[in-house]
Chains A and B, each alone.
Chain A
Amino acid sequence: MTEHEQVEWEAIEEDETGLSRRELFVKGGLLTAGAAFLGSPVAAARAAAKSPAAAEASSTFAVVTHGAGDAFWAVVKKGVLKAGKDLGVKVNYSESFNNPQKQAQLIGTAVARKPGGLVVSAPNPSALKDPLRRARRAGVPIITINSGVQAFKSLGAITHVGQTETIAGRGAGQKLKAAGGKKLLVIIHEQGNIGLEQRYSGAKSGFGGKTSRLQVKGVSDISTTTNQIKTKLRADRSIDAILALNPQVGVAAKDAAASANSKAKIATFDLSSDVIKAIQRGQMLFAVDQQQFEQGYLPIVFLYLYRYNLNTVGGGQPVLTGPGYVEKGNASKVAAYARRGTR
């Protein structure tokens, strides 16, 4: 309870420069702790003294992810921009290329510009402790997305929007096992990404059978990645199931399997129009869809609600956007959305 009160109180403090002060004052009659504070004559006087120009300054919502300029994060970015447009708020999106130090710095930059709210992905929560503490001290509401479901509370975020990687991995492993797989190869495409490790361990436990991992060069060099997978499949003919953790790598795995004459069943995390095409043609079994558009769109909506009405979403629990599965049955419906880059 005290933590909840803390959050509300901070929000009102922040409202010194906030965009929704007047609206909050008028419509916030039902708010308990917040209303009591705002209703005090002091707060009302302070509210009246505020200039609209100052309110303008904090209406930007900043999004700082660990994305690496790839297709997946491009969809998240589209979600962010669409939400900003739909709600008429300014948004600012930046990526740290999976470098925690850089992400900490980008958060610092965002906070210095006094945003109305902050959205971060937290694959390495330890690294974000200090900059997010500074954000909280400045009264900036925080929402975590994508990675960091186990840490969003300790980081002081309102909620987390994403999928639980271990559960999604387990689901994928189980599906590949059900399809008759005996020996699974999981392709790891980034060297320092904790989320990928969680998917791997989830897939391993879900699959049950023999599971191995292959570290590949990654999305920055797909042709080398394809060769690495091909070599592995040539070297070990008994691999009959492949799980890629990124759509571009999934397509690379499909191509590699074809040229290595491997009959392995292929599944991937996340969608792209190429992945959907491959599923429709039966070259790929399924894709684990975490609907990352929502991971960009929803936090902006949540922050907007928080600023406008001091509403929180999730009730202290994360908001899950996945895992959903795209298979032959539903692939054609999703295809149109993937083509325009929002799935």
Chain B
Amino acid sequence: MAQVAESGLARDERLARVGLAARLFQRPEIGSMVGVVAVFFLFLWAAGAKFAELDGFALWTDEASNVGIMAVPVALLMIAGEFDLSAGVMTGSAGLLFAYLVTRPDLNVWPAILLVLLFGLTIGFINGMLVMKTRLPSFIVTLGTFFSLAGLNAGLTRRATGSVYIPDVDTASGFRSAHRFLGSTFTTYAFPDRVIWWIVITVVATWVLARTRFGNWIFAVGGDATAARNVGVPVLRTKIALFMTTSTMASLLGIMIALQIRSAQADQGIGNEFVYIIAAVVGGCLLTGGYGSAVGASIGALIMGMITVGIPFAGWNSDYQRLFLGVILLLAVMLNTLIRWAAARSRA
């Protein structure tokens, strides 16, 4: 095919030839790629070779997967022009529900996982319907869900257990098998299983965005919802599906965390919603929607992982961790904008 186009007599004058460098610089994740290399070498210098050895590598990919599993669906949602501020606390709700199901009614772990994922689908559906039917900004609607879930987490946990955390998840039947796939580490190395899940989720999301009709819909509804609707894109369905994906992924991560720490705590996940958004934005997502990538969000998560682990690894004062995150966020976004502007000019 390409051969024909190249050598064909009637070369389409509408198809401009774009060089490799220009194409690379037009990718949304280019800024984060530069960032990840810079941060990696910074900590390699500050913390020594240990940072790059298996021990260190396992630690920061662990944290990166912890962020990345959510940053990817959050990025898709942002490309479609919506936010989900309940994504962080949802990991807590899911973890608590899961821990409750396997310790109080003594459900087997696997059916409990299924129920919790269904719970995630339901919350996502509610989020999506509320946003689409009320036409309120998703920022506000999911902020409401965020506070509601945080309150429920505290109230119901205490009501059900008389305490603020649910321990002894590891006494549940089926714990060992589930722990193996979702909350453990590879036998030889300290790599968590989560890393595999994270990579798979990133690959699938990238494929969906780049190669499927649903992926086109995501970009279309985020770019201009009215225009998208006029050309026949099912805006409602697309957005609701993305809200459901986000809160289901949050449920999956919540289950993984509960299996990993063998317990669930009432304040789990609060505040992480912004961490996911930061990862997505560092990875090239625009707050206005219509632009971004899944790989970028994962690279953003990788940067977060390196910073979170790198600071104590280097023996720096961890009081400044958030300062670091803030500066990285600003630098990455400025770099993204600069590159996008340069790329747009080179094309013109």
In the complex, which residues of chain A have a beta carbon less than 8 angstroms from the beta carbon of B224? Answer: none
**A126 touches which one: B168, B190, B266, B313 (CB < 8 A)?**
B168
- A94→B318 contact, CB < 8 A: yes
Using a CB-CB cutoff of 8 Å, which residues 107-137 of chain A contact chain B? Answer: 108-110, 112-113, 124-127, 129-130, 134
Chain A CB within 8 A of B170 CB: yes
Q: Nearest-CB distance from A13 to chain B (Å)?
A: 18
Chief secondary structure at chain B's binding surface: helix
Query: What bracket does the count of chain B residues touching chain A fall in?
Result: 20 to 34
Q: A108-B62, A215-B154 are in contact. Are A194 and B164 (CB under 8 A)?
A: yes
- B261→A104 contact, CB < 8 A: yes
Chain B CB within 8 A of A191 CB: yes
| Chain A 176-201 per-residue mask, 1 if CB under 8 angstroms from chain B, else 0 | 00000000000000111110110000
Binds B, one of A30-38, A43-51, A95-103, A161-169: A95-103
- A106→B265 contact, CB < 8 A: no
In the complex, which residues of chain A have a beta carbon less than 8 angstroms from the beta carbon of B193? Answer: none
- A124→B267 contact, CB < 8 A: no
In the complex, which residues of chain A have a beta carbon less than 8 angstroms from the beta carbon of B308? Answer: 105
Chain A CB within 8 A of B176 CB: no
- B313→A127 contact, CB < 8 A: no
User: Which A-chain residue is minimally distant from B164 (CB atoms)?
Assistant: A192
Using a CB-CB cutoff of 8 Å, which residues 292-331 of chain A contact chain B? Answer: none
In the complex, which residues of chain B have a beta carbon less than 8 angstroms from the beta carbon of A192? Answer: 164-165, 265-268
User: Which B-chain residue is minimally distant from A103 (CB atoms)?
Assistant: B261
Q: How far is the CA of A113 from the CA of B59 in the complex (A)?
A: 11
Q: How far is the CA of A101 from the CA of B262 in the complex (A)?
A: 10
Q: How far is the CA of A95 from the CA of B63 in the complex (A)?
A: 16
- B170→A126 contact, CB < 8 A: yes
In the complex, which residues of chain A have a beta carbon less than 8 angstroms from the beta carbon of B50? Answer: 112-113
**A105 touches which one: B63, B315, B319 (CB < 8 A)?**
B63
Q: A112-B56, A194-B164 are in contact. Are A100 and B154 (CB under 8 A)?
A: no
In the complex, which residues of chain A have a beta carbon less than 8 angstroms from the beta carbon of B190? Answer: 108, 134
- The 4 A-B residue pairs with the shortest CB-CB distance, nearest first, are A127-B261, A192-B267, A126-B263, A112-B55
Listed A/B pairs (26) with beta-carbon separation below 8 Å = A95-B318, A100-B261, A100-B263, A100-B265, A101-B66, A101-B257, A101-B260, A104-B261, A105-B59, A105-B308, A105-B309, A106-B312, A108-B59, A108-B190, A109-B59, A112-B313, A113-B50, A113-B313, A124-B261, A126-B263, A130-B260, A191-B153, A192-B266, A192-B268, A193-B164, A215-B154
